[in-house]
Structure 1
Amino acid sequence: MFTFAHNNLNVFDLEKSLDFYKKALGLTEQRRIVPPDGSFIIVYLTDGKTPHLLELTWLRDRTEPYNLGDNEIHLAFTADDYDKAHAMHQEMGCICFENPDMGIYFIADPDGYWLEVIPNKE
């Protein structure tokens, strides 16, 4: 039997990404790994509700943003107040695709990763 532990995204500017995930999705840092040589930093983000974590990895020697190419993977988040979330993301200018017929939209993080926002159906 397996259970999800975390998803990883490599990021070019860690502080910019941490600010984005806090503001856009309310994710907060749970823990951080920094080796003695400082060659990378791994930050685990939590939503404070589920055990699933988002791991952001920053590599010191990375000199240019990541090329995501045709990478069409995404992470999905439910929004307790979908309309309020949509308005906030619209104000932030991070909505990259909307499908009103399906009742979903996507936001892009600073590295160009797409994050799906769906209404909470509870």
Structure 2
Amino acid sequence: MKFTFAHNNLNVYDLQKSLDFYKEALGLTLQRTKDADDGSFTLAFLGDQTTPHLLELTWLRDMNRPYELGDNEIHLAFTVDDFDAALAKHREMGCVCFENTEMGIYFIEDPDGYWLEIIPAK
């Protein structure tokens, strides 16, 4: 028996705002969507055009407030080929939320408060 990653899921409050953020900040593009027949949810699958792994953004019609992430320490990590250019872009966007210069990484925050780790490619 062998398991392989298919996707990660994040619930989002404003789907279009999140789609715009992930495209601008990380270059992720919309691969496909799935809408519930009753309109209760939309799933948007984003890809990096390099790996088969997808990020699923879930919008729920009945969610009437931003998500409360609490002490949720979960994050997704991305490698980047030009770390300095990425950091400059993310600083310009105002989404850098934590820098660890000792480890050579930083984190950005998406519109819903999820942290995304940025790691230089080796």
1:2 and 2:3 are equivalent in the alignment: yes
Which runs of 5 or more residues in structure 1 are unaligned?
none
In 2: Cα distance, 1:35 partner to 1:99 partner: 41
In 1: Cα distance, 2:59 partner to 2:17 partner: 11
Counterparts of 1:26-37 in structure 2 under 5 Å? 26-37=27-38
Counterparts of 1:53-92 in structure 2 under 5 Å? 53-92=54-93
3-state SS, counterpart of residue 23 of structure 1: helix
In 2: Cα distance, 1:112 partner to 1:6 partner: 19
Task: Tell me the alpha carbon deviations over residues 53-86 of structure 1, each in whole angstroms, 9 at most, x when there is no partner.
Answer: 0000000010000000000010000011000000
The Cα of 1:8 is off from its aligned counterpart by: 0.2
Which runs of 5 or more residues in structure 2 are unaligned?
none
In 1: Cα distance, 2:111 partner to 2:47 partner: 18
In 1: Cα distance, 2:37 partner to 2:103 partner: 47
* TM-score, normalised via structure 2 length: 0.98
In 2: Cα distance, 1:28 partner to 1:91 partner: 21
3-state SS, counterpart of residue 9 of structure 1: strand
The Cα of 1:102 is off from its aligned counterpart by: 0.4
The Cα of 1:36 is off from its aligned counterpart by: 2.1
In 1: Cα distance, 2:37 partner to 2:4 partner: 31
Corresponding pairs, count: 121
Aligned to 1:109: 110
In 2: Cα distance, 1:62 partner to 1:35 partner: 15
Aligned to 1:98: 99
Aligned to 1:50: 51
